[in-house]
Structure 1
Amino acid sequence: MSVVREADQTNGWLTHIRDLKKSYRGTYWMLRKALKACGEDETHPDYKTLKEMISDVNFAIMWMHTGKRPGNKRGIERRAAYQRDKLMDPLKMQAYVQQHHAGSPANISDDERFRLGEAMRCLSERERECYELAHGHGFPFQYIADMLQISKGSVEQYVRRAQEKISDELRGNLFL
């Protein structure tokens, strides 16, 4: 293993996160020396750029060290279920709404179309309309609100409620 690792390092490849962190720390200290060479003079033309670079490198080092984004209280593995779940593939939703039958890989089968239709059956007319415009056509909430002459908050609430209902329907129905 050490032979491969040494060969990779001679070719310029970093094979382990440990080596990557070491490289970033070396960059961090080079930037600190460059900042010190500026004399900590805020009027120096490179002062602001060096401070930003040091901040960015330090952010990356912390991310590699902790394994999660600095500042987050929880890692992705500890997210709540609603934050991890994806209701369905957006391409399938778009194919369902637009009903294209060309040779696109985004097309869905008749069975998938039926299952999605059954899951959306529980939505009110307004929820379905907002959900299809947001997820099927990809329109932003503000555009949908203007189109339907309702507030953006209402659109967000309709879409959120529709997502919850579809999610419950897909989880609860054994045949979908």
Structure 2
Amino acid sequence: MIMYELMNGYKQTRRVLRALRTLNTDKNDRQVIGGMISDCNYVVEWLQTGRRPGNRRGIERLAAYQRERPIDPIILQAYLARTSAGGTVQAASVTDEDRERIEEVLGQLTPRERDCYVMVIGNGMAYSYAAKLLGLKKSSVQWFVDSAKKKIKVYLLKGVKD
């Protein structure tokens, strides 16, 4: 209900501004009022559609960086560094149980998948940089990482069911 009141308020303001712009003869004032009308249009479209105007992707489709990760990258980084991640007081440290679980999960991957996954997810490298180090194409590294993620997800789901 509040959203409709807010939208109606912006629409009313937009009508008033349009009337004010037609009555005003000063070029600078008309330009400022035009900007206000544009802002009102932007807000009204956002409230009507539920997504930012001009965006092609709504909240129902998540981008790659928003997707769920099979293994927490911070714990994986800590595992790789053999210390606490980030070096701060609140950083996660890897317990022996975590270390065993990570080794077990990474053991399910092929050597190439493991290398790519550890470099990209564990060390936070860019796909292109990992590809350069491994002598592969960027798309190949992406494919190996995606394959590793799928295998890890299946392995973890299988472990939950057991």
TM-score normalized with structure 2 length: 0.70
> Over aligned residues, Cα RMSD in angstroms?
3.3
Match of 2:158 in 1: 172
Q: Percent identity?
A: 24
* Contact residue 10 and residue 44 of structure 2 kept, 8 A: no
Whole-Å Cα distance in 2 between the matches of residues 142 and 52 of structure 1? 41
One-letter amino acid of the structure 1 residue matched with residue 79 of structure 2: Y
3-state DSSP of counterpart to 2:136: coil
* Contact residue 28 and residue 57 of structure 1 kept, 8 A: no
Show CA shifts across 1:25-68 (max 9, x none): 313431343244334xxx953366345423431243225xxxx6
How has the CA–CA distance of structure 1 residues 132 and 62 changed in structure 2, closer, same or farther, with 3 Å as cutoff? same
How has the CA–CA distance of structure 1 residues 45 and 145 changed in structure 2, closer, same or farther, with 3 Å as cutoff? farther
Whole-Å Cα distance in 1 between the matches of residues 77 and 6 of structure 2? 44
Alignment of 1:49-128 (within 5 A): 49-50=35-36, 52-62=38-48, 69=51, 75=60, 85-101=68-84, 104-128=90-114
**Alignment gaps of 5+ in structure 2:** 23-27
Whole-Å Cα distance in 2 between the matches of residues 123 and 116 of structure 1? 11
**Alignment gaps of 5+ in structure 1:** 1-17
Match of 2:8 in 1: 25
Show CA shifts across 1:44-94 (max 9, x none): 53366345423431243225xxxx647768947xx9xxx975413222222
How far apart are 1:152 and its partner, in Å?
1.4
* Contact residue 31 and residue 53 of structure 1 kept, 8 A: no
One-letter amino acid of the structure 2 residue matched with residue 37 of structure 1: L
Aligned residue among 127, 150, 156 for 1:141? 127
Whole-Å Cα distance in 2 between the matches of residues 88 and 35 of structure 1? 54
How far apart are 1:165 and its partner, in Å?
0.8
User: Is the deviation greater in 161-170 or in 95-104?
Assistant: 95-104
* Contact residue 93 and residue 136 of structure 1 kept, 8 A: yes
How far apart are 1:20 and its partner, in Å?
4.5
One-letter amino acid of the structure 1 residue matched with residue 81 of structure 2: Q
TM-score normalized with structure 1 length: 0.65
User: Is the deviation greater in 159-168 or in 86-95?
Assistant: 86-95
Aligned residue among 146, 152, 156 for 2:142? 156
3-state DSSP of counterpart to 1:38: helix
